[in-house]
A and B are shown apart, each in its own frame.
Chain A
């Protein structure tokens, strides 16, 4: 069964600290993996997308890694800011997908950054 598991479920860190969020998946055939950021009361916004041939992708202070062999991805946030407080969702797309109909969503990690 296609699944995406994220850990931890929630995380609290101090402003300025780094953190890493994990995503393990069992989607097959794999096409790409995307990390979304969802602020409270808003729709998800894409941070990064990686295909199986890409093992790292950066977007400012966000760096995503992908190990297609172990089916694991991580999202590293550097020098966290209060505005990073949000839910981070890992989404894996199956290879046959064209219309976004075979996207498998993780339940998300809720990050709280405190001052």
Chain B
């Protein structure tokens, strides 16, 4: 298994450009998420998906779009890049077991994409 893969590893954009960060997982996990990690801050959730065709916003969704047409893929689109979106982006896939109030999840992170917006 490749686990969670992300491409590209590095990207430099100019303000106003758009691009898509790719994320794929081969573990057949239902749940996938996108996070951004900035210096001095914890990981922050951008968008997440609980299954193919279902997505929702996280803590910092503005300026980003997602779609989930298949279980395996969960791309993150930057509509019009801004310097404030300079960050390291992590995709994660996860599954949970258990029952209400006793959920135990396992989350696996990709290697990250380092994005710089000039």
Contact = CB atoms under 8 A, between A and B. Distances in A.
Interface of A: 4, 29, 31-32, 41-46, 49, 51, 89, 93, 95-101, 103-108
A29 B31 CA distance: 21
Nearest to B114: A41
Interface string B55-90: 010100000000000000000000000000000001
Given A93-B105, A100-B31, A100-B92, A105 B42 contact: yes
A99 B31 contact: yes
A100 B33 contact: yes
A42 B111 contact: yes
Nearest to A50: B104
B53 interface: no
B42 A106 contact: yes
A106 B42 CA distance: 5
Interface of B: 4, 30-31, 33, 40-45, 48, 50, 56, 58, 90, 92, 94, 96, 100-107, 109-112
A3 to B, nearest CB: 10
A2 to B, nearest CB: 11
A4 B96 contact: no
A43 B110 contact: yes
B58 A101 contact: yes
A101 B90 contact: no
A47 to B, nearest CB: 13
Nearest to B90: A43
Contacts of A107: 40-42
A108 B40 CA distance: 8
B110 A101 contact: no
Contacts of B103: 31-32, 93, 95, 97-98
B104 A32 contact: yes
A46 B107 contact: yes
Contacts of A49: 104
A101 B45 contact: yes
Q: Which of A97, A100, A106 has the most CB of B within 10 A?
A: A100
